[in-house]
Amino acid sequence: MKNKYVYVLFFLPIAVLAAVMGYYINAIRFERVEIVVSGYDPKDFFSGYYMELQPNWSETDCTQFADAKCPTNAFKNRYKFYIKNEQSAQLTKAVNAGIVKLVFSYRQGYTPHIVDLLADNKSYIEYLEADK
């Protein structure tokens, strides 16, 4: 009886780790696509600090997708991108200037996942450091 529990306790973490690794290895095979976004900082005290971003398909380069068409139905209408409070003013200026893109890991038939936020074609972390 004890041996069954030992096997379960030993192999369960290995199975979970294998599933997670398989997910990330598969995600590497996905394409990185950049979508221009517009949005704002809602200043919601209870939900934390984030920017509410909406894809701006009219400004997005749709040639990066199959058949040069933007798959608008595959993406949500709004995304929350969590940031630190002290970063919100700088990123809000970048969003208002229209120089912000969300980078997604995307493959047709799968849910797109946010990989990065680009401001002025740099990762938002690099952008904020250069703006200091």
What are the pLDDT digits (tens) for 19-30? 888 777 766 678
Mean local confidence (pLDDT), 59-74: 92
66 within domain boundaries: yes
110 within domain boundaries: yes
Q: Could you give the count of Cα atoms lying within 13 Å of 17 in the half-sphere of its Cβ?
A: 5
Number of domains in the chain: 1
Q: How many residues does the chain have?
A: 132
> What type of residue is 122?
K
8 within domain boundaries: no
Strands (E), the chain: 31-40, 50-55, 79-82, 100-106, 113-119, 122-123
Mean local confidence (pLDDT), 40-68: 83
16 within domain boundaries: no
Percentage, residues of the chain above pLDDT 90: 32
The pLDDT confidence band at residue 1, using thresholds 50, 70 and 90, is low
Per-residue burial over 5-23, b = 16 or more CB atoms within 10 Å of its CB, e = otherwise: eeeeeeeeeeeeeeeeeee
3 within domain boundaries: no
> Is the pLDDT reported for residue 48 higher than 80?
no
Query: In this predicted structure, what is the pLDDT of residue 47?
Result: 59
10 within domain boundaries: no
Higher-confidence residue: 99 or 41?
99
pTM score, whole prediction:
0.74
Pairwise CA distance, residues 118 & 37, whole Å: 10
The pLDDT confidence band at residue 66, using thresholds 50, 70 and 90, is confident
Pairwise CA distance, residues 61 & 83, whole Å: 26
Q: Is 58 helix (H, G, I), strand (E, B) or coil?
A: coil
117 within domain boundaries: yes
What residue has token string 């400004």?
A: 59
Name beta bridge partners: 38. Answer: 54
Can you give the residue range of the structural domain that contains 116? Answer: 31-130
20 within domain boundaries: no
